Structure 1
Amino acid sequence: MRSASGSTASVSLPGDPPGGRRAVVVWGIGVAVYFVAVIFRTSLGVAGLDAADRFHVGASALSTFSILQLLVYAGMQIPVGLLVDRLGTKKVLGLGAVLFTAGQIGFAFSPSYGTALLSRALLGCGDAMTFISVLRLGSRWFPARRGPLVAQLAGLVGMAGNLVSTLVLARLLHSVGWTAAFAGSALAGAVVFVLLLLFLKDHPEGHEPAPLPHQGAAYVRRQIAAAWREPGTRLGMWVHFTTQFPAMVFLLLWGMPFLVQAQGLSRGTAGDLLTLVVLSNMAVGLVYGQIVARHHTARLPLALGTVTATAGMWAATLAWPGQRAPMWLLVVLCVVLGACGPASMIGFDFARPANPAERQGTASGITNMGGFIASMTTLFAIGVLLDATGDDYRAAFCAVFVLQALGISQILRLRRRAARRERERLVASRVETVHVPA
């Protein structure tokens, strides 16, 4: 429970799950599924140049791989949130594991650009079912006061999946080839699916959620409308929108081409810089999680500070005199980009207290759409601008500033309403706590 000063109290809320060792084990299995999904999602980031050669496509067509994948991902967020609220974590995570593994296998054996696109869409569909499920699993197994840290740890494990892509899959591509690398990595999907079936449970005993009413079109509309009416849900979505996409675009597709083609680095050095983004993300995630858990009022300053630092470093890199930025500046850029993922997790810390337990999946789905819509838009804009300007990366990456400006304007517009509504809900929860029988 939060105190008036914004700090976190040391007791659990009434009805909170107990946490403990078993919670860590069960949650860890869910996070392992998400870990594998991120490996598959980001595998194209280290294979972009190989994919262009394999399928004989240019920048716009190459960006379509990631755009389609993210389009499916973003479009699935609200349906997945509703499914998680209705069916529980285990069923949705299991279906997600089947789909993203099938997509990875299909991508490995795709003989043409069209079939490869369909495989990435299938992968995106399965990937979309993982993160919201893991957030729901954490809220069902850990006390509410642990929510910010648990969410940041989930994001950290996801970035570890990105690290596997940059360190392991990149080397497999150049040692065993396209088909063996992608098909071999799909085995990880089968492993986590078996673990999920054997050991994962939706909630601890004695903490079963209340049954939901019969699901129909009216119920779906009510869930979405109620979550959207909360200013905290909308603020969370715009925080996620504004903070996540610069690093996502860099890691998912355009980082490697930018560093190799525009900055003249070798693939090995470029891969090391992508790895630095991931390592920075993991370190910053631990720090942000602790800060937000202890100082609730730090959420917005952390998010806006990250956006400002990211914009400043991109401006310095793109405006550097001459054709190429110095290595020290690229290193600092990658370190700062590492803060984007942890900052995007703060969006869920606005949506979570704004919605009751039975609406958490839906609210998380709306929030999670933000960053992926921004990433999809920027991926497309960069690809089009590269083709239109003859591979002028300076002009193409200016698209980042447009999306950041839009997101900041919405955050500033919603911040007071969300804060006022959150205070009202906190007061109401305290009144209810006082009347809970001992």
Structure 2
Amino acid sequence: MDRHNSRFRWFVFASVLFTYLFMSSQRTAPGLITDQIMLDFQVTATTIGLLASIQFLVYTILQIPMGILADRFGPNFFLIIGAVLTGLGTIIYSLATHEYILFFARILTGTGDATIWVNMVLILSQWFSAREFTKLIGITAMTGSLGFLLATVPFAFWIDFLGWRPAFFSAGLLLCLCGILLIYVLVKKPKQPIFVKKKIQREKMTVILRRVFSSRQAWALFLCHFGIVGTYIGFISSWGVPYGMNVYGMTRTAASQLIMLGLIGALIGAPLASWVASRLDMIKRPYIVVHLILLFTWSIFLVFEGNPPYYMVTILFFIIGLAYGANALTFAAVRQSFPISESGIVSGFANTGGFLSAVLLPSIFGRVLDYVQVVSGSVIQGFYYGFFTPVVFSVIGFIGVMLYREKRQIQEENLKEH
């Protein structure tokens, strides 16, 4: 089968993106039922924070190893098994009778989720020409935000209609069916092996890893992504909906609309940031503006002691999402700064920074919330002090973007040295 000219490649594209849509929705969907989990399982805000963090922790740990495994054995097996693991984790979550089972379910979901991005990109690069791939990768990136969008009002209605356990069970079942679909699409129909064994140069990989971990540029991008991703994903996956319900007295569905505003911003922010950077032919300056806007926006929550006017909150959530959408500039910077042979590893390293902050923020926020509520008895005060966490993380992201040296900046420095 001539993959690049086959009509079947569009069925591959649709199937893979459909799977990614539902897998990404399960990153943040549990945030819709935070209050229900606390009530049903009698757990604290700290435990909820850890529960939200564990999936991102597993995702973070597996990013670089997954890239190496995909190069070694091919992407088909890992994408298929990832969809199934995410589905099984979601089903177990819906059937849980104890908090330990909830943690186990989120670990399974995080393991499955960790397979998706690297392997999806590799699969699409196999089925599409370089020109088509460049056009389609933007749509692929936006699908993740559409998955987050799916996990707001639509899934909130589904929960209200069925109850949270049947809703999550049905989502898990659908993901398992996606895994079966991928077996047909990626293996059976094109008659491709599920494993593709390739020889890799272990010594060379070790040298590359050592060089990446000692690179100022790589660490700058790690910090950039740390500041912009976790402040958004970490918050909406755990405390966004409870914030609207507890501080503004909103229903779950109404509070999920706040999250949806952020996701709409993210959908706009991704192509907008790329367009601005390409028009200006630079990455650093627009990225500095993005990080400053993000820092300013989170700081407003502190100015109003955690309780800004509602109309302002809707604007703030939209702007936070808009800034998050610009995180694609991190990977544009990777492609500009590193050779193709190293860009995958550096992308994984930078992505690790982003999801490390998504691991830390829910836990820190939850611990602060528990402590302040015990001391003051005020939920609003708890959220006020909790908002110091995304502000600090945004400062770290700003430091990262300032440390980043653009290609032309490096060339100018080299000219001065000579």
Identify whether the pair has TM-score above 0.5, normalized to the shorter chain: yes
For 2:78 and 2:136, the matched residues in 1 are separated by: 20
Unaligned 5+ segments in structure 2 are 191-195, 374-378
Retained in 1: the 8 A contact 2:12–2:186? yes
Retained in 2: the 8 A contact 1:242–1:407? yes
Q: Residue 4 of structure 1 aligns with which residue?
A: none
TM (normalized to structure 1)? 0.82
Structure 1 position 278 matched with structure 2 position 268: no
Per-residue deviation at 1:68? Answer: 1.1
Per-residue deviation at 1:221? Answer: 2.4
The partner residue of 1:83 within 35, 44, 69 is 69
For 1:354 and 1:64, the matched residues in 2 are separated by: 35
TM (normalized to structure 2)? 0.85
CA deviation vs aligned residue, 1:295-345 (integer Å, no higher than 9, x gap): 473422332222221222222233127x73222201111111212332222
Retained in 2: the 8 A contact 1:78–1:366? yes
Per-residue deviation at 1:60? Answer: 0.2
Q: Residue 398 of structure 2 aligns with which residue?
A: 408
Structure 1 position 340 matched with structure 2 position 330: no
Higher mean displacement: 328-337 or 84-93: 84-93
For 1:340 and 1:408, the matched residues in 2 are separated by: 12
Over the aligned positions, Cα root-mean-square deviation in angstroms equals 3.1
For 1:244 and 1:263, the matched residues in 2 are separated by: 25
For 1:111 and 1:422, the matched residues in 2 are separated by: 61
The partner residue of 2:295 within 311, 322, 346 is 311
Higher mean displacement: 277-286 or 225-234: 225-234
Retained in 2: the 8 A contact 1:85–1:358? no
The equivalences for 1:235-250 within 5 A come to 235-250=220-235
CA deviation vs aligned residue, 1:166-208 (integer Å, no higher than 9, x gap): 123222222222321111111221232123222238xx9xxxx
The equivalences for 1:1-12 within 5 A come to none
Structure 1 position 377 matched with structure 2 position 377: no
Q: Residue 13 of structure 1 aligns with which residue?
A: none
For 2:320 and 2:6, the matched residues in 1 are separated by: 33
Per-residue deviation at 1:270? Answer: 1.1
For 1:117 and 1:54, the matched residues in 2 are separated by: 15
Structure 1 position 162 matched with structure 2 position 148: yes
Retained in 2: the 8 A contact 1:243–1:303? no
For 2:28 and 2:332, the matched residues in 1 are separated by: 25
For 1:236 and 1:397, the matched residues in 2 are separated by: 24
Q: Residue 29 of structure 1 aligns with which residue?
A: 15
Retained in 2: the 8 A contact 1:284–1:338? yes
Q: Residue 262 of structure 1 aligns with which residue?
A: 247
Per-residue deviation at 1:31? Answer: 2.4
CA deviation vs aligned residue, 1:2-30 (integer Å, no higher than 9, x gap): xxxxxxxxxxxxxxx96996655433332
CA deviation vs aligned residue, 1:255-314 (integer Å, no higher than 9, x gap): 01111112333333212111111122112223234444x347342233222222122222
Structure 1 position 363 matched with structure 2 position 349: no
For 2:95 and 2:253, the matched residues in 1 are separated by: 26
SS at match of 1:329: helix
The equivalences for 1:280-295 within 5 A come to 280-292=265-277, 294-295=278-279
Q: Residue 326 of structure 1 aligns with which residue?
A: 309
Question: Residue type of the partner of 1:224?
Answer: L
For 1:235 and 1:145, the matched residues in 2 are separated by: 30
Retained in 2: the 8 A contact 1:136–1:361? no
For 2:186 and 2:165, the matched residues in 1 are separated by: 31
The equivalences for 1:139-154 within 5 A come to 139-142=125-128, 150-154=136-140
Q: 1:356/1:18 Cα in 2 relative to 1: closer, same or farther (>3 Å)?
A: farther
For 1:120 and 1:157, the matched residues in 2 are separated by: 22
Retained in 2: the 8 A contact 1:313–1:333? yes
**What percent identity do the matched residue pairs reach?**
22
Retained in 1: the 8 A contact 2:156–2:253? no
The partner residue of 1:253 within 238, 241, 245 is 238
SS at match of 1:339: helix
SS at match of 2:108: helix
Q: Residue 393 of structure 1 aligns with which residue?
A: 383
Retained in 2: the 8 A contact 1:100–1:123? yes
Unaligned 5+ segments in structure 1 are 1-16, 205-209, 425-438
Per-residue deviation at 1:364? Answer: 2.3
For 1:359 and 1:85, the matched residues in 2 are separated by: 12
Retained in 1: the 8 A contact 2:64–2:348? yes
For 1:76 and 1:295, the matched residues in 2 are separated by: 35
Question: Residue type of the partner of 1:273?
Answer: L
Per-residue deviation at 1:147? Answer: 6.6
SS at match of 1:70: helix
For 2:282 and 2:98, the matched residues in 1 are separated by: 49
For 1:138 and 1:226, the matched residues in 2 are separated by: 28
Q: Residue 133 of structure 1 aligns with which residue?
A: 119
